[in-house]
Chain A
Amino acid sequence: MKEKTIKLLFATLAVATIWTSCKKDKDLVTVPQPVINESEVITTLKLTFVDSSNTSNIKYATFRDPDGDGGLGYDIFDTIKLEPNKTWLTTIILLNETVSPADTISNEVLEEGVDHLFCFSPTGTSATVTKTDLDANALPIGLQSKWRTTSTGLGTMQVELRHQPGVKDGSCTPGNTDIDVVFQTKIQ
């Protein structure tokens, strides 16, 4: 009887000790939600194409979403129209038109070239793109490029700006997307 009482006492003590000492997750201070910083607001992507064989032959294509990504949709979304069998010297201008005067985001992209990369993905079009500008690490940026067109046809060209702080390696894989536009592309 005495031994049973002692056993019971120790068992009770053990349970009590664990119960009181073992803190639960609900006792932890809640971790604050992460602060999510928006990437640069880009409302407008303007492409300017200069015919390398005739610099007065200039084409333009613009995408504009006045309030940036989300919210209302675009109000300008041009089709890229280029002539075949030419080389086009292409420049990209990015704007934030939610502020007045508009902020030229492409200047910041150039300043932070080591963190940015444009990626061009043609589908069903003969246009091929070669980036011609380089950042401080001799990796391409893509604000300046050459577009070579050959045969006529209708397809698309995806223009994507990747933000790659500290991880840029020349490929499109690392980082996040700042802007991604798929233009209808007509070579005629």
Chain B
Amino acid sequence: MKKILILVTSTVLTVAILFTACNKTKMYANRLDGGEWHITELSVDGVTEAELPHWQIGECDAYKESCTGDWENHEGGKGKFAWQFREKGNKFEISNQSELTGEHKQDEAILQCQNFSGVYEVKEHKKKSMTFETSSAVGFSGKKVVMKIEKE
């Protein structure tokens, strides 16, 4: 009986560990969605961007729909982007989904979102802070882009 109990416990533990590991994508997505995040670091080849926007992220299931968020600047301009974690949470993609409007503050947010669209490596992932890096952002190809976001 004791042997069976040990067996059950170890099996459950193994399953739990493997289950968690293989669902990092979903776990990371769940942490990101449904909240407001501030970009606290945004740099290109070590040069910090003057405008640090914030994101409004809606609730989402990446297996059922394309997840989106708002890229907002301090002037009140707003652009929409699609986002996704994949490859066991090791990759994070941002994809601008807005066209220019002709309104200055809007277009600023949209162009910034467009320039920083790309597939990022997830370098740090905590409950309230995440850090991403890429060298293939749309507007900065070949340059190292670092983005750190923190939850409100």
User: CB within 8 Å of B: which residues of A?
Assistant: 3, 6-7, 10-11, 13-14, 17-18, 21-23, 25, 27-37, 112, 115, 163, 165-169, 173-174, 176
Tell me if A29 and B14 are in contact (CB < 8 A).
no
11 pairs of residues in contact across A and B, judged by CB atoms under 8 Å: A11-B11, A25-B87, A28-B86, A29-B66, A32-B97, A35-B98, A37-B99, A37-B107, A37-B110, A112-B104, A169-B50
Q: Are B25 and A35 in contact (CB under 8 A)?
A: no
Asked if A28 contacts B11 (CB within 8 A), the reply is no
Looking at chain B's contact residues, the main secondary structure is mixed
Identify B114's interface contact among A23, A30, A37, CB under 8 A: A37
Interface size for chain B: under 10, 10 to 19, 20 to 34, or 35 or more residues? 35 or more
- Do A34 and B108 have beta carbons less than 8 Å apart? no
Bound CA–CA A30/B138 (angstroms): 18
Whether the Cβ atoms of B50 and A167 lie closer than 8 Å is yes
Dominant SS at the A interface?
Answer: loop
Interface of B toward A, CB cutoff 8 Å: 3-4, 7-8, 11, 14-15, 18-19, 22-23, 25-26, 44, 47, 49-51, 62-66, 73, 82-84, 86-87, 93, 95-100, 104, 107-108, 110-112, 114-115, 117, 138-139
- Chain A residues with CB below 8 A from B107, complex form: 37, 165
Q: How far is the CA of A67 from the CA of B139 in the complex (A)?
A: 23
A167–B63 contact, CB under 8 A?
no
Nearest 5 A-B pairs (CB), nearest first? A166-B51, A22-B22, A34-B117, A34-B95, A165-B108
